[in-house]
Structure 1
Amino acid sequence: MGEVRNEHGERAAHEAPAVREGRAAREGRAARETGAVHEGHTGREAGGGHEVPVAREAGDGHDEGVARAFVGLAEALVADIDAIDLLSTLTLHCVTALGARSSGVMLADPQGKLVVMATSDERARELDLREIQSGQGPCLDCYRTGEVQFSADLENEARWPAFTPLARAHGYRSLSAVPMRLRNRVVGTLNMMHPRPRAAGDAELRTAQAFADLTTVGLVSQGAADGEDALKEQLRAVGSSRSLVERAVTEVAAHMDVRTGDAFQALQDRSRRDGVRLVDLAREITDGAFDVAALDGEVGGRIRGSGGGTG
């Protein structure tokens, strides 16, 4: 399950070892060894006006950036935030700490089919949906095989003839996907997308795997139950939460005339500021118990004031 496949479908020379025992020690080692990038800053997404995290080049603070990501994930678990908020946090850490241009999470539904659960930006979400529709791509192969998938340059990629042109059309040239695992079962995937050809180091893939493993354990532990049926029920609950949040985001975006990504960020900010779970706030909005007009000032200042909009 820890093998890495390159663009020729061969086992790569390096492997991403399983993060099972001694999790804390391995996470610390991964944080020390990762050298790709560090803290993110905001930049405008191509083709749109809103701002999204963009990774900076590696520097003296890259270790601290990875360490902060681990701390952020741990704090999110302790705070008992809901599943969609947790998965969104995971994708943003892949951008700011590991240097991905975009990142996404897919989880399996009770029928074993992958569903897009969270992405760092709208372009990533669109590509993830297209991957599922095309029936091929790094996430689908990662889920089926339980092995890390990596393509250094999509221009030379032959494994996914239907998907590769879509990824390049979205502005990506290099992709990777690591499995989200629980007790030797793959329950989903975490992917990272880059705009230029690149070689992924073992430490980077190992750190991404540690991010995924930590998040998966926290995600499933929210169900506080064990067994195959309990796991399926928890994944079903996550899917229901995603649908509820999406309906609320659509409502907020339509009311404020902003992008859905901006609307999601506004809901996430408000839920954390008020100390309520994202899914609970979404339920209040869809039930009509929360007036979305209350978000006008907050979103107006942060998004419209910075040149955002529907584009």
Structure 2
Amino acid sequence: MIDWLLETASLREFLQHLIDDALGATGADGCGVTLQRRQRPLTVVSTGGVADKLDEKQYGQDDGPCLQALRTGEVVHVPDVLEETRWGSYPRFAAGLGIRSSLSLPIPARTHTAGALNFYAADPGAFSEGDRRTLALIAAQAGGGIALAQRLADAEEFTRDLQTALASRSVVDQAIGSVMQQQQCTAEEAFDLLRRLSQETNLKLRDVCTRLLTGIAGRPPAERPPLQPRP
């Protein structure tokens, strides 16, 4: 799964590959992945044509098997929508689109349910117990992919923050050296002078140091080169 995720251009592409393969392994006619974004459900990928319409119907009425799986973290199996009494007008809507059965599986995350994997079929009773076990494993793969993608995004953000911190430190160190040379003072005294100037001008310390060095050299100070990943 890790190799598959790293070979795809985005999490969306990874999930699309996942559900395309899952659809071929079942008797389902449509499949979609619902994720929670900014406290709202969203179908991020789908296949089979009918999944988007069924998901949107559930989002619109804020109820349905997909949302129940997302909110409870439990598998929701609907053997036949014509015998279903839950979720208001949704069962009739699904039947009107030619869908008779569905299976919604929670996508697990480390501390919560990240989303739901939803399968829809034209035949009643389309999902056997074996299908449900297989698709539960696929939902777990989706959760693992989402968690890994988040970790990669967190690592990239950390690297950017570290690069910014190192660049700021480099500029401040250069400014301290210049003040020490001009004022014949210690590094601590030079830093205190720069810090007071930052407070008096209401500018960030790095901006004060950059202005000082630019005024002395006639050009902006050189920064550390960006961090490079290990080969």
TM-score class, shorter-chain normalisation, is 0.5 to 0.7
- Secondary structure of the structure 1 residue equivalent to 2:94: helix
- Secondary structure of the structure 1 residue equivalent to 2:5: helix
Which of 119, 129, 136 is residue 63 of structure 2 equivalent to? 136
Is 1:171 aligned to 2:86, yes or no? no
Q: Quote how far apart the aligned CAs of 1:199 are.
A: 5.5
More helix by share: 2
CA distance in 2, matches of 1:219, 1:116: 14
Is 1:162 aligned to 2:89, yes or no? yes
Q: What is aligned with 1:95?
A: 23
CA distance in 2, matches of 1:203, 1:136: 27
Query: Structure 2, unaligned stretches of length 5 or more?
Result: 158-231
Q: What is aligned with 1:220?
A: 147
CA distance in 1, matches of 2:16, 2:68: 22
Query: Structure 1, unaligned stretches of length 5 or more?
Result: 1-72, 234-311
What amino acid sits opposite 2:58 in the alignment?
A: E
Q: What is aligned with 1:281?
A: none
Q: What is aligned with 1:205?
A: 132
Which of 3, 7, 12 is residue 84 of structure 1 equivalent to? 12
Is 1:119 aligned to 2:52, yes or no? no
Alignment of 1:1-311 (within 5 A): 75-111=3-39, 113-198=40-125, 200-224=127-151
What amino acid sits opposite 2:32 in the alignment?
A: G
Q: Quote how far apart the aligned CAs of 1:149 are.
A: 0.1
1:94 and 1:192 in contact (8 A); partners too = no
**Deviation per residue, 1:24-72 (Å, 9 max, x gap):** xxxxxxxxxxxxxxxxxxxxxxxxxxxxxxxxxxxxxxxxxxxxxxxxx
CA distance in 2, matches of 1:121, 1:139: 16
Distance 1:90 1:156, change over 3 A: same
- Secondary structure of the structure 2 residue equivalent to 1:223: helix
CA distance in 1, matches of 2:144, 2:93: 32
Distance 1:98 1:75, change over 3 A: farther
TM-score, length basis structure 2: 0.62
**Deviation per residue, 1:52-96 (Å, 9 max, x gap):** xxxxxxxxxxxxxxxxxxxxx565224143111112112212210
Instruction: Kindly report structure 1 stretches of 4+ aligned residues shifted beyond 4 Å.
Output: none
CA distance in 2, matches of 1:93, 1:74: 16
Percent identity of the aligned residues? Answer: 27
Q: Quote how far apart the aligned CAs of 1:203 are.
A: 2.4
